[in-house]
Amino acid sequence: MRFPDGFVWGAATAAYQVEGAVDEDGRGPSIWDTFTRVPGAIAGGDTGDVACDHYHRYPQDVDLLAGLGLGAYRFSIAWPRIQPDGRGPASQKGLDHYRRVVDRLLERGVTPYVTLYHWDLPQALQDAGGWPERDTAHRFAEYAALVHDALGDTVRHWTTINEPKVASHAGYGTGIHAPGVRDLALRDRAVHHLLLGHGLALQALRPGGNTLGITLDVSPVLPYSPDPQDVAAARRVDVDSHRLFLDPLLTGRYPVALDAVRDGDLDLIAAPVDFLGVNYYRRIYARAVPHGALRAEELAPPGLPVTTVGWPVEPDGLREVLVMLRDDYPGLPPLFVTENGAAFPDVVAADGSVDDPLRVDYLHGHLLALREAISEGVDVRGYFVWTLLDNFEWAEGFAARFGIVHVDYADQRRVPKTSARWLGRVARDNAVPPPK
Ligand code: FCB
């Protein structure tokens, strides 16, 4: 089961989830530093203060990644390290840190894939209103340009924003993520300004001749039952979670009216990208309920195997989303799977090793589904596992371990799990073993 020549194999992380060192080298506070202090917001009261200490240990972590045979690293830049207050000149210490990370990657033959925003908004910008404020989109483009000016000579692949839906919907709608706001009108404004920030950043970065894109989380949405009410509920969830982002980016139109939109915004948002990143974890099932804005609840049918965070394991859903994108959006840019992976309750054996057959099976199934989508003609250029290291999994804290490398948070020791070696072999062979 070979993959096309030049197919990119990598691992992904995000700054707040792995770096720690939140007070070092002039970093300002982000909304996640604030939110993790809210009692009850995070499982176990965990914070990203130390996390995997990747800020200091990136050299070894890069060596580990390269040693496995993975050729690409997708990581995010912490905006509050570059602009501690969210505006003004770039902090040289912040830029220098990421320059060193990039240099290390290049020395080890690993291609950097930089994400500019993976949810750690400078707290000062939230104090000024956050993503519901139009100015935040302009501030983001300014920050993007500062980073690009410093690293654009060596970094070719740039993602503006990771999963704008989670940033808007979880951050400002349900409030389960930072900044913990629950207000649907503000949520809708955040949707538009995240996308506008992407569009403005594209405009700022485009002259560099680089490869630019955005990453969305996409799932097939199915009705919980054949009942027409559930079918309608699934449609509402699909529009609210996916079409609300895909349509403006790829067709220049929102599927619903949003108040915050001004003349010209959609032209910026729909400017061509060089790739679309797709994060896939699971199928979503929707059931009609009488309450809530969408009158729908998400719940998985009984009997499906699930991960630590309750997500059903359904590999073919990855093929479905890739084929759906190709079929529904003519002129679709090339795709990368920028995240895919699973949390399972890993067991450390007496000899210190971590065998994770469930994760190996998860990756195997999803890579076969990805290979199938490529055979069906979908243009997918690369695959990044979520994630390199066990890390701070947002509201779930450290309890959900998604890494292919086990982290002992007491001493920061890294132990590659069986899945890390398995994926490294796949990457080196550029081929996935046949189904079991
Ligand atoms: C995605 C996020 C990533 C990680 C995975 C499990 O939504 O982009 O940071 O939390 O889920």
**133 in contact with ligand 1, CB cutoff 6 A:** no
Supply the Cα-derived Rg of the chain in whole angstroms.
20
**361 in contact with ligand 1, CB cutoff 6 A:** no
Q: Per the domain annotation, does 271 fall within a domain?
A: yes
Q: Ligand 1 centre and the CA of 227: distance in Å? A: 32
Label residue 435 exposed, middle or buried (CB < 10 Å: 0-12, 13-18, 19+). exposed
**245 in contact with ligand 1, CB cutoff 6 A:** no
CA distance 119 to 394: 10
Query: Residue type for 390, please?
Result: D
Q: Strand 413-416 vs strand 405-408: parallel, antiparallel, or unpaired?
A: antiparallel
How confident is the model at residue 207, as a pLDDT?
84
Model confidence over 126-177: pLDDT tens digits? Answer: 999 999 999 999 999 999 999 999 999 999 999 999 999 999 999 999 999 9
Model confidence over 303-316: pLDDT tens digits? Answer: 999 999 999 999 99
Q: Per the domain annotation, does 3 fall within a domain?
A: no
How confident is the model at residue 103, as a pLDDT?
98
Model confidence over 386-419: pLDDT tens digits? Answer: 999 999 999 999 999 999 999 999 999 999 999 9
**14 in contact with ligand 1, CB cutoff 6 A:** yes
Q: Ligand 1 centre and the CA of 216: distance in Å? A: 11
> Domain with 51 in it: what CATH number?
3.20.20.80
Catalytic residue among 339, 372, 376, 396: 339
**Residue 323 CA: distances (Å) to CA of 76, 302, 316, 326, 377:** 28, 26, 11, 5, 8
Average pLDDT over residues 205-211: 88
CA distance 181 to 35: 10
Binding-site residues for substrate, in ranges, read 17, 118, 162, 281, 386, 393-394
CA distance 17 to 60: 17
Dihedral sign for Cα atoms in the order 149, 96, 69, 113: negative
Q: Ligand 1 centre and the CA of 396: distance in Å? A: 11
**170 in contact with ligand 1, CB cutoff 6 A:** no
Are 169 and 176 in contact by the 8 Å Cβ rule? The answer is no
How confident is the model at residue 92, as a pLDDT?
98
**55 in contact with ligand 1, CB cutoff 6 A:** no
Which bin fits 40, alpha (ψ -120 to 50), beta or left (φ > 0)? left
Are 51 and 95 in contact by the 8 Å Cβ rule? The answer is no
CA distance 339 to 96: 27
Q: 209 is in which domain, residue-wise?
A: 8-429
How confident is the model at residue 228, as a pLDDT?
98
Q: Ligand 1 centre and the CA of 393: distance in Å? A: 7
**217 in contact with ligand 1, CB cutoff 6 A:** yes
**166 in contact with ligand 1, CB cutoff 6 A:** yes
Q: Report which protein residue has its CA nearest ligand 1's atom 9.
A: 14
How confident is the model at residue 246, as a pLDDT?
99
The two three-digit tokens of residue 358, written as one number: 């469930």
CA distance 225 to 97: 51
Q: Per the domain annotation, does 215 fall within a domain?
A: yes
C-alpha angle with apex 214: 54 to 258, nearest 5 degrees? Answer: 125
Beta bridge partners of 75: 114
Catalytic residue among 19, 133, 163, 320: 163
Q: Which atom of ligand 1 is nearest to the CA of 215?
A: 8
Dihedral sign for Cα atoms in the order 10, 42, 170, 145: negative
**394 in contact with ligand 1, CB cutoff 6 A:** yes
Model confidence over 263-296: pLDDT tens digits? Answer: 999 999 999 999 999 999 999 999 999 999 999 9
**19 in contact with ligand 1, CB cutoff 6 A:** no
- 239, pLDDT greater than 90: yes
How confident is the model at residue 208, as a pLDDT?
76
Q: Report which protein residue has its CA nearest ligand 1's atom 2.
A: 163
Q: Report which protein residue has its CA nearest ligand 1's atom 4.
A: 393
CA distance 417 to 413: 12
CA distance 89 to 82: 8
How confident is the model at residue 419, as a pLDDT?
98
CA distance 280 to 201: 25
Q: Per the domain annotation, does 99 fall within a domain?
A: yes
Q: Per the domain annotation, does 434 fall within a domain?
A: no
Question: Of 216, 74, 212, 246, which is closest to residue 144 (Cα–Cα)?
Answer: 212
How confident is the model at residue 164, as a pLDDT?
99
- 122, pLDDT greater than 80: yes
CA distance 97 to 87: 19
Q: Ligand 1 centre and the CA of 252: distance in Å? A: 26
Model confidence over 209-232: pLDDT tens digits? Answer: 899 999 999 999 999 999 999 999
Q: Which atom of ligand 1 is nearest to the CA of 162?
A: 8
Q: Ligand 1 centre and the CA of 305: distance in Å? A: 20
HEC string for the chain = CECCCCCEEEEECCHHHHCCCCCHHHCCCEHHHHHCCCCCCCHHHCCCCCCCCHHHHHHHHHHHHHHHCCCEEEEECCHHHHCCCCCCCCCHHHHHHHHHHHHHHHHCCCEEEEEEECCCCEHHHHHCCCCCCHHHHHHHHHHHHHHHHHHCCCCCEEEEEECHHHHHHHHHHCCCCCCCCCCHHHHHHHHHHHHHHHHHHHHHHHHHCCEEEEEEECCCEEECCCCHHHHHHHHHHHHHHHHHHHHHHHHCCCCCCCCCCCCCHHHHHCCCCCEEEEECCCCEEEEECCCCCCCEEECCCCCCCECCCCCECCCHHHHHHHHHHHHHCCCCCCEEEEECCCCCCCCECCCCCECCHHHHHHHHHHHHHHHHHHHCCCCEEEEEEECCECCCCHHHHHHCCCCCEEEECCCCEEEECHHHHHHHHHHHHCECCCCC
Which residue among 159, 163, 389, 392 has the greatest number of ligand 1 atoms within 8 angstroms of its CB, and so is best to mutate?
163
Q: Per the domain annotation, does 127 fall within a domain?
A: yes
Q: Ligand 1 centre and the CA of 237: distance in Å? A: 19
Q: Confidence class of residue 436 from pLDDT cuts 50, 70 and 90?
A: confident
Average pLDDT over residues 43-70: 98
CA distance 355 to 404: 10
The two three-digit tokens of residue 373, written as one number: 């989508």
CA distance 287 to 298: 6
Q: Report which protein residue has its CA nearest ligand 1's atom 5.
A: 386
Q: Ligand 1 centre and the CA of 188: distance in Å? A: 21
Which range is least confidently modeled, 110-124, 207-221, 325-339, 379-393?
207-221
Q: Per the domain annotation, does 436 fall within a domain?
A: no
How confident is the model at residue 154, as a pLDDT?
95
Query: Residue type for 282, please?
Result: R
Q: Per the domain annotation, does 25 fall within a domain?
A: yes
Model confidence over 355-385: pLDDT tens digits? Answer: 999 999 999 999 999 999 999 999 999 999 9
- ipTM of the complex as predicted: 0.98
372 is catalytic: no
Number of compact structural domains in the chain: 1
Binding-site residues, in ranges, read 17, 118, 162, 281, 386, 393-394
24 is catalytic: no
The fraction of the chain above a pLDDT of 70, given in percent, is 100
Predicted structure pTM score = 0.98
